[in-house]
Amino acid sequence: MNVDTAPTTGHLGPARHFGIRLSATARGARLARHMSAGQLASWGWPYDSEANRTAALLVAELATNAVVHGRVPGRDFGLRLTLCPEDATLRIELTDARPDVRPPAPGTLQAAASDTESGRGLLLVEALAPHWGTTGADPYTKTVWCELPLRSA
């Protein structure tokens, strides 16, 4: 997994990390959602908490985008979670193998037409996460990330 993505700056205290590579398939996207929910539960945010459900939704949207728009045959995608316990902020990063396919910049998203079945995932990310964006640390990958302030469990 690409670990040279945008750092978590401005946070104090020891961070907790979780990272895994998954197949760039629908099954891999489902596993990303399930594994992130399990990891958050182990860090103290139960499955039925609003924070866990919101984080799982964000992971599901970003993982689906990695599979649909960032897939290269034979290449995986990476999921990385970083919890900064001082301010209870979760950083979610999905790294895929298509640096040439970048989403629109934050604040420039257009609403999808009402008769289309897709095109709303990043609108959800923008609505639920105060900060999100895209980074590329090398010519082979890109990372779409978001930060979510977690509420008490």
Q: Which residues contact 103 (CB under 8 A, 6 or more apart)?
A: 65, 69, 122, 134, 144
> What one-character DSSP code corresponds to residue 3?
-
Phi, psi (5° rounding) for residue 48?
-90, 10
Instruction: Return the sign of the alpha-carbon dihedral for residues 128, 103, 90, 120.
Output: positive
Q: Which residues contact 105 (CB under 8 A, 6 or more apart)?
A: 133, 134
pLDDT tens digit string along 21-53? Answer: 999 999 999 999 999 999 999 999 999 999 999
Closest by Cα among 77, 62, 63 to 124? 62
If you average pLDDT over each of 57-61, 69-73, 114-118, 121-125, which comes out highest? 57-61
Domain segments of the chain: what residues? 23-108+118-149
Architecture of domain 23-108+118-149 in this structure: 2-Layer Sandwich (3.30)
Binned at pLDDT 50, 70 and 90, residue 102 comes out as: confident
